[in-house]
Structure 1
Amino acid sequence: MTQDIHPLLLCGGSGTRLWPLSRKSYPKQFTRLTGEESLFQASARRLSGEGFGAPVVLTGEPFRFIVMEQLAAIESAPRGVLIEPEGRNTAPAVLAAALWLAEVDPEGLMLVAPSDHVIPDGAAFRAAVRAAAPRAAAGDLVTFGIRPTRAETGYGWLELQEPGHAEADAPQPLVRFVEKPDAETAEALLAAGHYLWNG
């Protein structure tokens, strides 16, 4: 039996770094930065199709109507819209959603996805998610890494277990997460060759 992958779209935050385009009352995930659809709509569409269940959206009270309007505009009906009473960061929100999904579909898999990412190759991303699903079904926690192109201090990094595996597309065991490093540490991580950006 194939397990559904339930996309959990995170729609919190105020996105004030892109002000005035993005503001507290209308954050960046709801804006059209890269095309005809908002980042949120593109995320919902990207995580649909074979093997994916209807999206579950986690958002705050001020955005619930925007969420429903934007999903209706792309003819996407959510499995659920979970409203945070107040923002408490990502971990408690994801925990609440996981508990809700465990009640709704105990055998399903949850894919936690920000709703403000730009991913040009949606088909490749869906393929990567499907390829990772058996590991998640076996009980592993799966994250996606991006091959680094520079010593970036604005991203978290993932240390792979073995040097040389940063070039492989297959799932790899992780040693640790490295929170946003300073410039010197980022240079060392890039040079080491077995680190990825935390996607």
Structure 2
Amino acid sequence: MSTPERPKQMLALTAEQTMLQLTAARASGERFDAPIVVANARHADMIEEQLAAVGCRPQALILEPIGRNTAPAIALAALCAVEPDAPLLVMPSDHVIEDVDAFRAAVQAALPMVEQGWLVTFGITPDAPETGYGYIKVGEPIETGVYRVDRFVEKPPRAAAEAMLASGDHAWNGGIFLFRADAFLDALAQHEPAMLDAVRRSIADGERAGTHIRPSAVAFSEAPNESIDYAVMEKSDRVAVVPVSMGWNDVGSWDALHAISACDPAGNAIRGEVIALDTNNCLARSDGVRIAMVGVSDLIVVASGNDVLVLPRGRSQEVKMLLEAMKSSGGSDARSPEAELGALKG
């Protein structure tokens, strides 16, 4: 269902609102300014339509001419912030946070350190030895609820993940950050000056029309394609973490979506035109054609347009392999696996 034309963030996967709309609502109210959105240029109209539908007007819509990782994308936002010392709350727009009050409380806990120039990340309280997430080792306390980051850990093998979960001093790296714009840019100048220079030039040589900012493709392409973790967070000596349990999920697979969806008494998560008889623990979803299921269990069945996906629960990570097979077969409708990784940052 996630395509380059309409990536996951633009879909209503977990609620009536899209992932983008839910992200905007998470940071709305008197304590929050209008958002800065960094996205692929092809999605500009769709973003404005979806945000307008929930009463949100971005202060800036920065349209990436080419895809880059999180560090240059965040640098674009920091350079375009109206107030250089304003705290920036950096959120991917394809996450689920069920306990928004807990999230906002964590943001409040982090603000005093942010005002002192610290770079803060939010560590998700783990409930399983996940091998698909990076981890943060939580160090000594700095303020109430805020700790120094001891180290970042890449996605671990199963045994290491189990040991970190048992230790009680590790959190999942959820990729959500809070820091002053100028503090982030100072850290980037220290650790990745070539990236900062390329992003600055892309804005200087780019175009502006109202709230739309179109960086220069030539200059932006020269920015190293690195994540914020690798470019800054793992290198800076003023990095803190706020551990928080807030019902977080990055909805990285259909199995993850089933796990957080409201289910009927038989454990089925159903959306769209679906008839399910004697069916248990399935996810069934259609945006058009009718799905009929009888006497089956533990399946994922998704119908979107001309495509139908059927696979056992627990194997939805293999969708990427399936997409590669579709590309290899030369099918004109084969979708790029990159669409699953998120073509939009918010």
- Smaller-chain TM-score bracket: 0.7 to 0.9
Q: Aligned to 1:54, which of 34, 40, 46?
A: 34
Q: Provide the C-alpha distance between the structure 1 equivalents of 2:106 and 2:168, rounded to a whole number of angstroms.
A: 21
Deviation at 1:130, TM superposition (A): 2.0
Q: Provide the C-alpha distance between the structure 2 equivalents of 1:154 and 1:59, rounded to a whole number of angstroms.
A: 24
Q: Which residue of 1 aligns with 2:78?
A: 98
Output one character per residue of 1:37-56: Cα deviation in whole Å (capped at 9) or x when no partner. Answer: 00100000111112111011
Greater than 2 Å deviation, 4+ residue runs = none
Deviation at 1:186, TM superposition (A): 0.9
Aligned AA (2:84): P
115-124 vs 37-46, greater mean Cα deviation: 115-124
Q: Which residue of 2 aligns with 1:180?
A: 155
34-43 vs 128-137, greater mean Cα deviation: 128-137
Aligned AA (1:179): E
Q: Provide the C-alpha distance between the structure 2 equivalents of 1:128 and 1:193, rounded to a whole number of angstroms.
A: 19
- Residues 169/25 of structure 1: CA separation in 2 closer, same or farther (3 Å cut): farther
Q: Provide the C-alpha distance between the structure 2 equivalents of 1:35 and 1:62, rounded to a whole number of angstroms.
A: 24
Greater fraction strand: 2
Please say which structure displays the higher CA radius of gyration.
Answer: 2
Output one character per residue of 1:64-117: Cα deviation in whole Å (capped at 9) or x when no partner. Answer: 11110001100111111001110011111111211221xx11231111100011
Q: Which residue of 2 aligns with 1:151?
A: 129
Report if aligned partners of 2:109, 2:144 keep a CA contact under 8 Å in 1.
Answer: no
Root-mean-square deviation (CA, aligned residues, Å) is: 1.6
Q: Aligned to 1:112, which of 86, 90, 95?
A: 90
Q: Which runs of 5+ in 1 are unaligned?
A: 1-20
Number of equivalences: 173
Deviation at 1:127, TM superposition (A): 2.0
Deviation at 1:128, TM superposition (A): 1.5
Aligned AA (2:30): E
Q: Provide the C-alpha distance between the structure 2 equivalents of 1:130 and 1:24, rounded to a whole number of angstroms.
A: 36
TM-score by length of 2: 0.48
Q: Provide the C-alpha distance between the structure 2 equivalents of 1:37 and 1:197, rounded to a whole number of angstroms.
A: 26
Q: Provide the C-alpha distance between the structure 2 equivalents of 1:113 and 1:43, rounded to a whole number of angstroms.
A: 8
Report if aligned partners of 2:78, 2:84 keep a CA contact under 8 Å in 1.
Answer: no
Deviation at 1:169, TM superposition (A): 7.5
Aligned AA (2:20): F
